[in-house]
Chains A and B, each alone.
With several copies, the nearest count.
Chain A
Amino acid sequence: MTDSPAADWLRRFTTTALDREPDLTALDQAAGDGDFGANIAGAARLIQSELDGLVAGTPAAEVIAAAAHVFLDRVGGTSGPLFGLLLQEFAAATVKAGDLTPAALTEGTTNGLAAIQRVGEAQVGDKTLVDALSPAADALKALPPSTPLTEAFAVAARAAEEGAEATAGIRARRGRASYVGDHAIGVTDPGAMTIGLLFAAGT
């Protein structure tokens, strides 16, 4: 078990994801197909065992890359590869910055959003995790360079949570929720909510 800030962040995320699995399942059940909670929880367990296997002092980029690979190579669904693309961009930005800095967070979020939109073609307002990720990227880009990492995470989390909350009011145009029409109204998008959980885990 490592104790680097990156590992702590991801471990906290996995704990929250497992705690919240029933809520995420219920949301995807109400306006989707019910597998989102299990998918994210499965990923969380795999990431925990990856983190357990890392030696102390593993560079932040490698820690994040390990989680990215879990999502990319071992988790299916729509959400698996999309979260993988996001974490992969976090890892790349962390390599570039030399550590998980606020700048790396901003760049990772921005590039992760771009990659997710290239692959999934969702726009803000389609009721997907893009509705949380996009405002988070905007909020991070607006921060002064000197912002401490935990505060940057907090700002991103707040923006993502607000974006996620807004998804409750709309029908979906993409993802499984797009098939259920008005049944999606009143239901927060679980993918967007999980983006909020990911950032909040860094605070």
Chain B
Amino acid sequence: MSRYFAESPDDLVDAGLAGFALAHADLVEFTPDPGHVTARSPDPRRVVGLVSGGGSGHEPLHAGFVGAGMLDAACPGRIFASPHNRQVYAASKAVAKPGGVLHVVKNYTGDKINFGIAAERLHHDGIRCARVLVDDDVATDSADIAVGRRGTGATVVVEKLLGAAADQGRDLDALVALGERVAAGSRSVAVAAAAHTSPATGTPAFDLPDDGIEYGVGIHGERSGAVRPHGPVDDLVRDMTGSLVTALTLTRGDRVIGLVNGLGRTTPLELYGLHHRFATALAEHGVALERHLVGSVVTALDMHGFSLSLTRTDDELTALWDAPAHTAAWPA
């Protein structure tokens, strides 16, 4: 057990946001109530405001991606709890542009409900508002789960590509179409060797056998039900890669953007080693890894685990990926 350097789960969020705002005062402005972070210098060509958000505990997502070239605003909820609708409403009002507001929402019931209520209020105010839903997690692609696939690591890819497209002055319908295309072309899968520490109890959120890996874990630490032994890392990465290739029905010559994402306490050495193995596994499928990102960008507090994501790409999407972005966490 290891307690967080914070007084309580709420302090973890509140002090963290206050410090984030202080550290990045050049990039963002923070409104404590209702809590939201907005970009100081969005691209002047934008006609649509981009807003995302979700429970805290996934940092740098989303506040770390607020800034020129990515999000106009983010709404951080309490730890692992969706923001309330008033946060989303206020953030959306603050960054709405003549062409309206686009919500990037990870597919979770709470997020959908709270963003949905905010959207109703925005419509009521005469502000155009649409939504792109990210649902990339193959581990939750099951007839037993009525709510569909979870939104996880690929969210950052969607935010990057939509941000670059918004900077080109594209309108709401064009952005929705693009976002849906990117989300449909994105899949992720995550594994964990140790649970995150619950900020409520200070203990691991779940137990794994010493040599076990939770295959298909969620970014709130939801267990998958599938524990496998800590076997060769090559095999693990090959299996994960295979599941993404299958889900996206990729064939030889297809082009992708790849993300190797740490879930919290996974070290840079591990992540780069996994990237090397991921690239090898993709090459075995004949899939071209055209762009990549390696880092802990969509986390689950201090979980020891990682996710792999793939997004189908083409010339248009790759150019959007390459466009500059200036935020706290996007590697410039």
**Contact between B200 and A34, CB atoms less than 8 A apart:** yes
**Contact between A78 and B113, CB atoms less than 8 A apart:** yes
**Contact between B78 and A76, CB atoms less than 8 A apart:** yes
Inter-chain contacts of B77 with A (CB < 8 A): 76-77
Nearest Cβ distance between residue A62 and chain B, in whole angstroms?
Answer: 20
Is B201 on the interface with A (CB-CB < 8 A)? Answer: yes
A34-B221, A81-B117 known; A76 and B84 CB under 8 Å?
A: yes
| Closest chain B residue, CB of each to CB of A119 | B113
> Which residues of chain B from 187 to 227 have any CB-CB distance to chain A below 8 Å in the complex?
198, 200-201, 205-206, 218, 220-225
Chain A interface mostly helix, strand, loop or mixed? helix
**Contact between B84 and A179, CB atoms less than 8 A apart:** no
Is A173 on the interface with B (CB-CB < 8 A)? Answer: yes
**Contact between B85 and A34, CB atoms less than 8 A apart:** no
B contact residues, range? 35 or more
Cα separation A171 to B144 with both chains bound (whole Å): 9
A42-B10, A74-B86, A179-B150 known; A35 and B78 CB under 8 Å?
A: yes
**Contact between B113 and A38, CB atoms less than 8 A apart:** no
> Which residues of chain B from 216 to 242 have any CB-CB distance to chain A below 8 Å in the complex?
218, 220-225
**Contact between A174 and B109, CB atoms less than 8 A apart:** yes
**Contact between B83 and A33, CB atoms less than 8 A apart:** no
Is A29 on the interface with B (CB-CB < 8 A)? Answer: yes
**Contact between A77 and B146, CB atoms less than 8 A apart:** no
Q: Which of A153-161, A180-188, A194-202 contacts B (4 or more CB under 8 A)?
A: A180-188
Inter-chain contacts of B146 with A (CB < 8 A): 121, 126, 173-174, 178
Q: Which of A78, A179, A183 is within 8 Å of B82, CB to CB? A: A78
Cα separation A174 to B108 with both chains bound (whole Å): 10
Is B20 on the interface with A (CB-CB < 8 A)? Answer: no
Cα separation A183 to B222 with both chains bound (whole Å): 10
Q: Which of B116, B145, B218 is within 8 Å of A173, CB to CB? A: B145
Interface centre among A32, A72, A75, A79 (most CB of B within 10 A): A75
A contact residues, range? 35 or more
Inter-chain contacts of B85 with A (CB < 8 A): 72-73, 81
**Contact between B225 and A38, CB atoms less than 8 A apart:** no
Nearest Cβ distance between residue B197 and chain A, in whole angstroms?
Answer: 11
**Contact between A181 and B225, CB atoms less than 8 A apart:** yes
| Closest chain B residue, CB of each to CB of A81 | B113
Inter-chain contacts of B83 with A (CB < 8 A): 76
A74-B86, A179-B218 known; A38 and B109 CB under 8 Å?
A: no
Inter-chain contacts of A120 with B (CB < 8 A): 109, 113
| Closest chain A residue, CB of each to CB of B201 | A25
CB contacts between A and B, total, < 8 Å? 129
* In the complex, per-residue mask of B122-148: 1 if CB is within 8 Å of any chain A CB, else 0: 000000000000000001100011110
**Contact between A178 and B220, CB atoms less than 8 A apart:** no
| Closest chain A residue, CB of each to CB of B82 | A76
**Contact between B116 and A119, CB atoms less than 8 A apart:** yes
Is B80 on the interface with A (CB-CB < 8 A)? Answer: yes
Cα separation A175 to B84 with both chains bound (whole Å): 17
Inter-chain contacts of A174 with B (CB < 8 A): 109, 146-147
Q: Which of A33, A38, A81 is within 8 Å of B221, CB to CB? A: A33
* In the complex, per-residue mask of A64-100: 1 if CB is within 8 Å of any chain B CB, else 0: 0000000011111111111000000000000000000
Inter-chain contacts of A126 with B (CB < 8 A): 146
* In the complex, per-residue mask of A22-63: 1 if CB is within 8 Å of any chain B CB, else 0: 100110010011110111001000000000000000000000
A76-B78, A82-B113, A174-B146 known; A33 and B84 CB under 8 Å?
A: no
A174-B109, A180-B225 known; A75 and B10 CB under 8 Å?
A: no
**Contact between B224 and A81, CB atoms less than 8 A apart:** no
Nearest Cβ distance between residue A34 and chain B, in whole angstroms?
Answer: 5
Nearest Cβ distance between residue A118 and chain B, in whole angstroms?
Answer: 11
> Which residues of chain B from 1 to 60 have any CB-CB distance to chain A below 8 Å in the complex?
9-10, 34, 55
Interface centre among A81, A174, A183 (most CB of B within 10 A): A81
- Cross-chain pairs A/B with CB under 8 angstroms, 5 sampled: A34-B220, A37-B200, A73-B86, A81-B85, A174-B146
- 18 A-B pairs besides A29-B206, A35-B79, A77-B78 with CB distance below 8 A are A26-B201, A32-B222, A33-B221, A34-B221, A35-B78, A37-B200, A38-B81, A42-B10, A75-B84, A76-B55, A76-B77, A82-B113, A126-B146, A173-B146, A174-B146, A176-B218, A179-B150, A180-B222
